[in-house]
């Protein structure tokens, strides 16, 4: 029976660092401020934003949620972002994704001041990651890296196979894990919907990360014994009473075969939130001390 890689202790270790840094800032009279922008009433986004807001205030940060209607014009959203960019009490700005289809996530993410880019998805910060000179890191890729390193499975020297090349997770993760130095130095294969015979690649992985958004994408047949699996997917599956959350991996069958696997929920999700708050305090330090 494989080990379950619970995200809670990893999140708790990162939260501890956030709390320490926030109290050092408080001693200088600075309270790190996070602005969270939500557009529309997508139930998953409502729930994620609530979690992030609560987690921020629980660690001594100041958090403010801005809610705009789903039909808001892009100019109005960009104007709010511009106002938050100029607010000295706001050190991190997060726009919850996905956005309604009439809004361009590229334009919206690029409008956030890169120094306040709590999500680490601004083109400048992604560019710095590619150059090997990272600043604020994208939250979910860093969460995956933290889980691996802090659970005793550092990616260095391993073959990591990533399924999914999305901008939020798979693509930046492939760069993060293959960069030079601690937490990196992996050999990475990046698979996607145009990969023929996915199993041919996933069977080669010492570590397999799946970030697709479709339940059952990663089955036990396509992962080798003793591999480590990180399941990033979050899918709502209807039940008679409402819905339940499942990942992209066939958890029950894989658990019998692998060395370790993250659960959904309770794996990558809580660590992603902790990294968001870490980014916010790091951004605050940089803005208030010039570091
Ligand atoms: P995305 O941008 O839609 O990317 C999905 C990727 O999966 C695409 O690259 C797509 O390939 C690939 N794909 C689709 N079907 C495939 C198949 N049958 N075989 C192989 N690859 C396939 O999604 P995302 O934003 O990266 O998110 C992925 C999942 O992670 C979602 O379930 C999301 O909810 C979850 N997520 C979780 C967290 C967390 O904190 N836990 C954070 C962010 C996202 P193409 O590029 O060829 O289309």
Using one digit for the tens of pLDDT, what is the confidence trace for 88-120? 999 999 999 999 999 999 999 999 999 999 999
In a domain, 173, yes or no: yes
With a pLDDT cut of 90, the percent of the chain lying above it is 99
In a domain, 103, yes or no: yes
My answer on whether 237 and 162 are in the same domain is yes
**Centre of ligand 1 from the C-alpha of residue 106, in Å:** 17
My answer on whether 162 and 251 are in the same domain is yes
pLDDT of residue 70: 98
**Centre of ligand 1 from the C-alpha of residue 233, in Å:** 7
Active site residues: 52, 96, 119
pLDDT of residue 238: 94
**Centre of ligand 1 from the C-alpha of residue 60, in Å:** 33
In a domain, 19, yes or no: no
HSE-up of residue 21 (Cα within 13 Å, Cβ side): 20
Q: Read off the CATH number of the domain in which 45 is found.
A: 3.40.50.10860
In this predicted structure, the answer to whether residue 52 has a pLDDT above a threshold of 80 is yes
My answer on whether 205 and 100 are in the same domain is no
pLDDT (tens digit per residue) in 192-224:
999 999 999 999 999 999 999 999 999 999 999
Q: Is the pTM of this model over 0.95?
A: yes
Give the CA distances from residue 58 to residues 106, 139, 162, 225, 236, in Å, rounded to whole numbers and listed in that order.
31, 19, 33, 40, 27
Residues touching ligand 1 (Cβ under 6 Å) are 140, 163-170, 191-195, 198, 211-214, 217, 232-235, 268-269, 272
- Ligand 1, residue 98: give the atom nearest the CA: 25
My answer on whether 150 and 262 are in the same domain is yes
In this predicted structure, the answer to whether residue 2 has a pLDDT above a threshold of 60 is yes
My answer on whether 66 and 166 are in the same domain is no
Are the CB atoms for 52 and 83 separated by under 8 Å?
no
In a domain, 132, yes or no: no
Give the domain-ending residue among 115, 131, 148. Answer: 115
Q: Whose CA is nearest to atom 23 of ligand 1?
A: 166
The alpha carbon dihedral of 200, 205, 211, 217 has a sign of positive
pLDDT of residue 180: 96
In a domain, 82, yes or no: yes
My answer on whether 79 and 180 are in the same domain is no
**Centre of ligand 1 from the C-alpha of residue 202, in Å:** 16
In this predicted structure, the answer to whether residue 158 has a pLDDT above a threshold of 70 is yes
pLDDT class of 22 with cuts at 50, 70, 90: very high
Give the domain-ending residue among 82, 115, 148. Answer: 115
My answer on whether 66 and 144 are in the same domain is no
pLDDT of residue 107: 98
pLDDT (tens digit per residue) in 223-273:
999 999 999 999 999 999 999 999 999 999 999 999 999 999 999 999 999
Q: Read off the CATH number of the domain in which 256 is found.
A: 3.40.50.720
In this predicted structure, the answer to whether residue 291 has a pLDDT above a threshold of 60 is no
My answer on whether 90 and 208 are in the same domain is no
Q: Whose CA is nearest to atom 32 of ligand 1?
A: 213
Q: How high does pLDDT run on average in the chain? A: 97
In a domain, 4, yes or no: no
Q: What's the rounded Cα separation, in Å, for the pair 253 and 245?
A: 17
My answer on whether 191 and 259 are in the same domain is yes
Q: What's the rounded Cα separation, in Å, for the pair 265 and 184?
A: 26
- Ligand 1, residue 217: give the atom nearest the CA: 18
Q: What is the mean pLDDT of residues 34-40?
A: 98
My answer on whether 157 and 81 are in the same domain is no
In a domain, 149, yes or no: yes
Both structure tokens of 87: 């607010």
**Centre of ligand 1 from the C-alpha of residue 167, in Å:** 9
My answer on whether 102 and 211 are in the same domain is no
In a domain, 250, yes or no: yes
Select from 176, 213, 214, 219 the residue to mutate for testing ligand 1; criterion: most ligand atoms less than 8 Å from CB. Answer: 213
Helices marked H in 179-267:
198-202, 251-255
How many whole angstroms from its chain centre is CA 231? 12
Range of the domain at 92: 30-115
Select from 106, 142, 232, 246 the residue to mutate for testing ligand 1; criterion: most ligand atoms less than 8 Å from CB. Answer: 232
With a pLDDT cut of 70, the percent of the chain lying above it is 99
Q: Whose CA is nearest to atom 26 of ligand 1?
A: 166
My answer on whether 63 and 147 are in the same domain is no
Q: What is the mean pLDDT of residues 23-50?
A: 96
pLDDT of residue 289: 84
Domain count, the chain: 2
């Amino acid at each position: 029976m494989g080990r379950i890689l619970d995200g809670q202790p990893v999140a708790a270790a990162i939260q501890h660092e956030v709390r320490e840094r926030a109290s050092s800032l408080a001693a200088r009279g600075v309270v790190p401020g996070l602005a969270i922008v939500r557009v529309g009433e997508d139930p998953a986004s409502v729930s994620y934003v609530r979690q992030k807001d609560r987690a921020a205030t629980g660690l001594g940060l100041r958090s403010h949620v801005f809610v705009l209607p789903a039909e808001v014009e892009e100019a109005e959203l960009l104007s709010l972002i511009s106002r938050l960019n100029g607010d000295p009490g706001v050190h991190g700005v997060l726009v919850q994704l996905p956005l309604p289809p009439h809004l361009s996530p590229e334009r919206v993410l690029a409008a956030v001041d890169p120094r306040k880019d709590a999500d680490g998805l601004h083109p400048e910060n992604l560019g710095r990651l590619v150059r090997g000179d990272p600043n604020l890191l994208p939250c979910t890729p860093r969460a995956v890296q933290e889980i691996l390193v802090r659970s005793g499975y550092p990616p260095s020297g391993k073959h990591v196979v990533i399924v999914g090349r999305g901008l939020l997770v798979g693509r930046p993760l492939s760069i993060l894990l293959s960069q030079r130095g601690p937490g990196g130095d992996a050999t990475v294969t990046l698979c996607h919907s145009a990969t023929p015979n996915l199993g041919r690649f996933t069977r080669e992985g010492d570590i397999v990360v799946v970030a697709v958004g479709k339940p059952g994408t990663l089955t036990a047949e396509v992962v080798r014994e003793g591999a480590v699996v990180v399941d990033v997917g979050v899918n709502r599956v209807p039940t008679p009473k409402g819905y339940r959350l499942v990942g992209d991996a066939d958890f029950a069958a894989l658990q019998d075969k692998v060395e370790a696997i993250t659960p959904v929920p309770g794996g990558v999700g809580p660590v992603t939130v902790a990294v968001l708050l870490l980014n916010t305090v790091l951004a605050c330090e940089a803005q208030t001390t010039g570091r």
